[in-house]
């Protein structure tokens, strides 16, 4: 089990509320030094990440395995080499032996080329000086987390229906939940159509339209609007125009994916405004 880091009472090193580029990202911080742990974890928390803590290699391996078993893996492991005592790179090797496939960002007292090469050989993806400005650390973390989310989700195929929000790695989990609920949503629509329930069919189509709009699936939204228009025109759920429109809507929902159609830019676009 890991310890969840809570710095709600700390002043922190970054301006809270200014930017949350690691929103909905999970970070495991491996560190044996309280002062460094608190400072680094505060930076990540203020960037929007949830941060768990492990104080040793065996504890870190346990955390990673538990997260993988729960199908909620860490998006990034941050390893403070100097806080481990001895050779901190051993911890990276232990994580790779435990089949952790995500990025490992090592922090050291000095980030020399020789030390960096040694860390990469051990399984780390990069090495930074632990004395860097918070913005440098967070920028490197965002790059790694974005790449990891694309790797985990994959890229959408040419026939897939994607969201205009899929370019934002921070929103992929939200889109994934929406897509997983689409089969149930379209079945509710088709059920109302089979039962010739005109009012419920209108309500179900409106629900699909609103949810598709809020999640950035504009093709699905347009198809739901088209089906509503056909229904308003014919007044009959079994009219051919309605049937064809619902078939198109069902096909789009079946091809919907949370994956982006192309990799996000290195720093990720800014989050869209809420509301």
Helices (H), 26-124: 34-46, 57-69, 89-97, 113-122
pTM (2 decimals)? 0.56
Mean pLDDT (the chain, rounded): 85
How many angstroms separate the CA atoms of 140 and 132, rounded?
11
131-181 pLDDT, tens per residue? 889 999 999 998 898 888 777 777 787 788 999 998 887 787 789 889 999
How many angstroms separate the CA atoms of 179 and 106, rounded?
35
Please indicate whether residue 27 or residue 116 has the higher confidence score (pLDDT): 27
Q: If you average pLDDT over residues 218-240, what whole number do you get? A: 95
Confidence (pLDDT) at 9: 37
- Does residue 275 carry a pLDDT above 50? no
Q: Which domains does the chain have, with CATH numbers?
A: 3-153 (3.40.50.2300), 169-254 (1.20.120)
- Does residue 211 carry a pLDDT above 50? yes
Which residues make Cβ contacts (< 8 Å) with residue 171, sequence separation at least 6? Answer: 24, 165, 271
Q: pLDDT exceeding 70 applies to what percent of the chain?
A: 86
- Does residue 19 carry a pLDDT above 60? no
Q: If you average pLDDT over residues 24-30, what whole number do you get? A: 91
């Amino acid at each position: 089990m890991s310890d969840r880091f809570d710095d709600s009472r700390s002043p922190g090193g970054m301006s809270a509320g200014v930017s949350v580029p690691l929103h909905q990202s999970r970070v495991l911080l491996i560190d044996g030094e309280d002062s460094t742990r608190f400072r680094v974890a505060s930076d990540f928390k203020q960037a929007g990440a949830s941060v768990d803590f492990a104080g040793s290699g065996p504890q870190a391996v346990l955390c990673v395995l538990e997260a993988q078993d729960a199908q909620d893996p860490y998006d990034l492991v941050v390893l403070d080499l100097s806080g481990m005592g001895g050779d901190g790179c051993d911890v990276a090797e232990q994580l790779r032996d435990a089949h952790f496939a995500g990025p490992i960002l090592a922090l050291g007292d000095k980030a020399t080329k020789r030390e960096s090469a040694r860390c990469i050989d051990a399984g780390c993806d990069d090495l930074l000086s632990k004395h860097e400005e918070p913005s440098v650390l967070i920028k490197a973390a965002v790059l790694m987390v974005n790449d990891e989310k694309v790797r985990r989700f994959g890229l959408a195929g040419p026939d897939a229906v994607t969201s205009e929000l899929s370019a934002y790695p921070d929103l992929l989990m939200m889109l994934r939940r929406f897509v997983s609920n689409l089969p149930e949503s379209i079945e509710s629509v088709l059920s109302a159509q089979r039962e010739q329930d005109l009012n419920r069919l209108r309500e179900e189509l409106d629900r699909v339209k609103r949810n598709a709009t809020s999640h950035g699936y504009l093709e699905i939204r347009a198809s739901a609007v088209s089906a509503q228009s056909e229904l308003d025109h014919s007044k009959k759920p079994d009219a051919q125009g309605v049937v064809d429109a619902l078939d198109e809507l069902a096909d789009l929902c079946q091809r919907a994916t949370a994956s982006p159609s192309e990799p996000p830019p290195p720093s990720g676009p800014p989050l869209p405004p809420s509301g």
